[in-house]
A and B are shown apart, each in its own frame.
Chain A
Amino acid sequence: MLLNKSIKELAKGLQSKEFTSVDLVNEAIAQIEKLDTNLHSFITVREKTDILKEAAEKDKTRTSSSNILHGIPFSLKDAYVTKGIRTTSASKVLDDYIPQYSATVYKKLQETGAILIGKNNMDAWGHGGSTENTNYTPAKNPWDNSRIAGGSSGGSAVSIATRMTSFAIGEDTGGSIRNPASMCNISGLKVTYGRVSRYGAIAYASSLDSVGPMAKSVEDLAIILEQIAGVDVHDGTSSHRMVDAYAQDLEKSIKGKRIGMPKEFFAQGLDPVAKEIIMKAAKQYEDLGAELVDVSIPFLKYGVSIYYLIAMSETSSNLARFDGIRYGNTRDNFSEETMRRIMIGTYALSAGYADKLYKKAQKARTVLISEFDNAFTECDVLLSPVIPGLPRKIGELINDPLQNLLEDLYTVTVNLVGIPSLAIPAGFTENNIPVGMQLMGKKFAEKELLQIGNAYQMVTDWHKKMPNEK
C-alpha cells in the first residue's frame, strides 16, 4: 500500500514517477469507500472527480523543485473553514455552512500542492475526548471497533491509522490531537501557542486553541510543521519567531538529554498496564543515553478544574456568535454536551462567581506555568502518559460528564501553560490495544521535542503497526 510510505518516500516516488498523485488519491478513496461506512472518520469527502482532477493536475505540474507535500493527499479536522467546502465543526448548527474564506493552515497547505481529500469527524466544537459528541455518527477505533477513537480530533487519527489519508491537521485545546493519536497508534503534535496561525480555526477556547499536524511518524510531523508554522497577519497571537528547519537533524543523538518524569502523572488513577508500557519507553530512552530525572508538578491535581473553568468560560463567549442569522442554524441545534459547557462557562463568568471561579482559575493557571518552568530547569522534556488508561468502550462514559472530563487530566495542563507536546505510540496491550506516551517540551522547542520523539521511533516499530481493518 502506497499510503504506508512516509512523506519523504512519497515525495521521492512521485519525483521519480514510480507512482503518481492519481494513484495516491485513488488509494485514499478506495480505503474510504471500503472502511468509512463503518469507522466514520469523515464528515465530508470531496467529490471524487474533483480530487482526481486535482491529482492529475499535480502530476502534470510537478517539477524537481516542487514542495515536498506537492501531490500528497491530506485531510482536515472539520474545525477549519474551507472556502466552498462544507464546514460543520461536527455540529448541526453548521450543517449547511459553506465558508466564504479559508483557514490560513489550509491556504498554506494548498500552496504546497497537497491535496485535500475531505473533512474529518470530531467532537462537536472540540467538546469531548471521544468523537462521541459529534452530531453525526461517532467514529470507531480501528484497533477495536467497540472502543472510542479518542477526540476531539478522532476522525483525523482514524483516517491516518487506516491510510485513508497520508496526514491530517488536527486541533488541540486540551488534548484533542494527542488523545486520539494515542488511542489510534499514530503521532500527533500540539504546538506551542502561537506557533501556527489559528485564523480560520473555529474557536473553542481562544487562549488554549492550537493547530497541529497528525501523521504516521515524527519525521512526517516535522515536515508538515515546517510548512504550516509562522506568523500570520490574520492572527495577532501568532509568533514572530523564526520557523526552525524541523525536519533537519532529526536523527541527532539525544545522549545527555534530561527527561523529566513528573511523579504526579504516574500517581494513582493511571492504569497499571499503560504505566508499565510507558516505563518501558522511559527505559528505552535511558538506553539511548538520556537521563531520567524526577520532577514534580504539584498543581496537576487541580488541572482539570482550572482548565475546564477557563475553557468553558471561553467557549460560552466564543459560541455566542452562533445564532443562525448570518450563517448556520439556530442554537437549539447544540448538543447537550455543548449546552452544558456553555452554561457552566456562563455560570463561572456570572456576577458573584467570576471572582471566585474564573479569576481564581486564571491565578491558578499562573501557578501551573511557574511549576512547569521550574520543572524545565531540571530537564529538557517531560515524559508522561497521554490518557489514564485504555480507550473506553463507546457509550461507556456518555452519561457521566464529570468522569468524561477527568479523563483529560494528563493533557489539559499543557494548553494552560502553552507549551508544545508530542504524542507517539509506545506499545500495545495483550489484546492489541495501542498505548501512547506524551513528551512535553519548552515553549518553541519543537525541534528538540521532535528530535527526542524521533530517536525513539528510530529504535522501535510501534508507529509502523497498522490495524487489521478489512
Chain B
Amino acid sequence: MKINVSALAKLANLTLSDKQLKDLEESIPGVVEYMDEVKNLDVDSIPETTRVTEEKNVLREDEVRESLSQEEALKNAKQTYKGFFVVPNVFGGKK
C-alpha cells in the first residue's frame, strides 16, 4: 500500500525529521492495510453512530459568567504582545 506520508504530515501540521519520516513511512501502511478490512463490511444500509450520549440539545442561558482574566489567559503563552497572543502569520505578507 502506498501512502504519501509527507503530504499527510503537512495536512496534520507536523514537521518530521528525516528519521521520523522514514519510520512512519514504514509503519503507517501496515496499520492502514489492516484497518482496510472495514471497507468490505456489508454495512451500507446501516446508520452511522457518532456519539453514545443520550443528552440532546444541551443549551444554557446566554449570560456573562466568570472567566479567565486576560492576564491569566496569557500566562502560559511563550510570546505575547500588549496583552495579546502572538500567532504565526496566516495571510502571507512579511514574516
**Which residues of A are in contact with B by a Cβ distance under 8 Å?**
96-98, 100-101, 193-194, 207, 233, 236-240, 302, 304-306, 308-309, 316, 320, 323-329, 331-332, 334, 336, 339-340, 342-344, 346-348, 350, 356-357, 359-367, 369, 401-402, 405, 416-418
Residue in chain A with minimal CB distance to B9: A343
- Residues of chain A with a CB closer than 8 A to B88's CB: 325
Quick check: B53 and A194 within 8 Å, CB to CB? yes
Question: Per DSSP, are chain B's interface residues mostly helix, strand or loop, or mixed?
Answer: loop
- Residues of chain B with a CB closer than 8 A to A417's CB: 52
- The residues in B between 15 and 30 inclusive whose CB is less than 8 angstroms from any CB of A are 15-17, 20, 23-24, 27-28, 30
Quick check: A239 and B53 within 8 Å, CB to CB? yes
Quick check: B31 and A369 within 8 Å, CB to CB? no
- Residues of chain A with a CB closer than 8 A to B73's CB: 100, 326
Quick check: B55 and A363 within 8 Å, CB to CB? no
Quick check: B34 and A346 within 8 Å, CB to CB? no
Q: Which of B20, B30, B38, B55 contacts A339 (CB 8 A)?
A: B20
Quick check: A364 and B43 within 8 Å, CB to CB? yes
Quick check: A339 and B27 within 8 Å, CB to CB? no
> With contacts A194-B54, A360-B41, A367-B43 known, is A343 near B15, CB below 8 A?
no
Q: List 18 A-B contacts (CB under 8 A).
A: A100-B72, A100-B73, A100-B75, A101-B68, A239-B55, A325-B88, A329-B78, A336-B20, A336-B23, A339-B20, A343-B5, A344-B28, A357-B36, A360-B41, A362-B48, A366-B49, A401-B27, A401-B30
- Residues of chain A with a CB closer than 8 A to B14's CB: 331-332, 334, 339, 342-343
Residue in chain A with minimal CB distance to B35: A305
Residue in chain A with minimal CB distance to B59: A236
Q: Which of A329, A344, A363 contacts B47 (CB 8 A)?
A: A363
Cα A344 to Cα B36 in complex, Å, equals 12
**Which residues of B are in contact with A by a Cβ distance under 8 Å?**
3, 5, 8-9, 11-17, 20, 23-24, 27-28, 30-32, 34-39, 41, 43-44, 46-55, 58, 60, 68, 72-73, 75-78, 85-88
The distance from the CB of B83 to the nearest CB of chain A, in whole angstroms, is: 13
The distance from the CB of A203 to the nearest CB of chain B, in whole angstroms, is: 14
- Residues of chain A with a CB closer than 8 A to B54's CB: 194, 239
- Residues of chain B with a CB closer than 8 A to A238's CB: 55
Cα A97 to Cα B28 in complex, Å, equals 30
> With contacts A207-B52, A334-B14, A364-B43 known, is A357 near B38, CB below 8 A?
yes
Quick check: A193 and B41 within 8 Å, CB to CB? no
> With contacts A207-B52, A239-B55 known, is A325 near B24, CB below 8 A?
no
The distance from the CB of A251 to the nearest CB of chain B, in whole angstroms, is: 30
The distance from the CB of B12 to the nearest CB of chain A, in whole angstroms, is: 5
* Residue from B15, B35, B78 having most chain A Cβ neighbours under 10 A: B35
- Residues of chain B with a CB closer than 8 A to A193's CB: 52-53
The distance from the CB of A34 to the nearest CB of chain B, in whole angstroms, is: 34
Quick check: A305 and B37 within 8 Å, CB to CB? yes
- Residues of chain A with a CB closer than 8 A to B52's CB: 193-194, 207, 369, 416-418
> With contacts A302-B37, A340-B31, A343-B9 known, is A98 near B75, CB below 8 A?
yes
Cα A316 to Cα B9 in complex, Å, equals 11
Residue in chain B with minimal CB distance to A363: B43
Q: Which of B27, B35, B37, B51 contacts A340 (CB 8 A)?
A: B27
Quick check: B11 and A346 within 8 Å, CB to CB? yes
Quick check: A363 and B50 within 8 Å, CB to CB? no
> With contacts A207-B51, A362-B48, A366-B48 known, is A343 near B37, CB below 8 A?
no
Quick check: B76 and A97 within 8 Å, CB to CB? yes
- Residues of chain B with a CB closer than 8 A to A316's CB: 12
Cα A367 to Cα B88 in complex, Å, equals 44
Quick check: B30 and A402 within 8 Å, CB to CB? yes
- Residues of chain A with a CB closer than 8 A to B38's CB: 302, 305-306, 309, 357, 360-361, 364
Quick check: B68 and A339 within 8 Å, CB to CB? no
The distance from the CB of B33 to the nearest CB of chain A, in whole angstroms, is: 9
Quick check: A363 and B48 within 8 Å, CB to CB? yes
- Residues of chain B with a CB closer than 8 A to A97's CB: 76
Closest 9 CB pairs of A and B: A418-B52, A327-B76, A362-B48, A236-B58, A237-B53, A363-B43, A365-B49, A305-B35, A343-B8
Quick check: B12 and A343 within 8 Å, CB to CB? yes
Q: Which of B12, B32, B49, B85 contacts A325 (CB 8 A)?
A: B85
Quick check: A363 and B46 within 8 Å, CB to CB? yes
Residue in chain B with minimal CB distance to A347: B8
Quick check: B3 and A347 within 8 Å, CB to CB? yes
- Residues of chain B with a CB closer than 8 A to A401's CB: 27, 30-31
* Residue from B3, B32, B48, B52 having most chain A Cβ neighbours under 10 A: B52
Quick check: B48 and A340 within 8 Å, CB to CB? no
Cα A101 to Cα B66 in complex, Å, equals 12
Q: Which of A194, A324, A357, A361 contacts B55 (CB 8 A)?
A: A194
Q: Which of A98, A194, A331, A405 contacts B15 (CB 8 A)?
A: A331
Q: Which of B11, B12, B39 contacts A360 (CB 8 A)?
A: B39
Quick check: B77 and A405 within 8 Å, CB to CB? no
- Residues of chain B with a CB closer than 8 A to A339's CB: 9, 12, 14, 16, 20, 24
- Residues of chain A with a CB closer than 8 A to B58's CB: 236-237
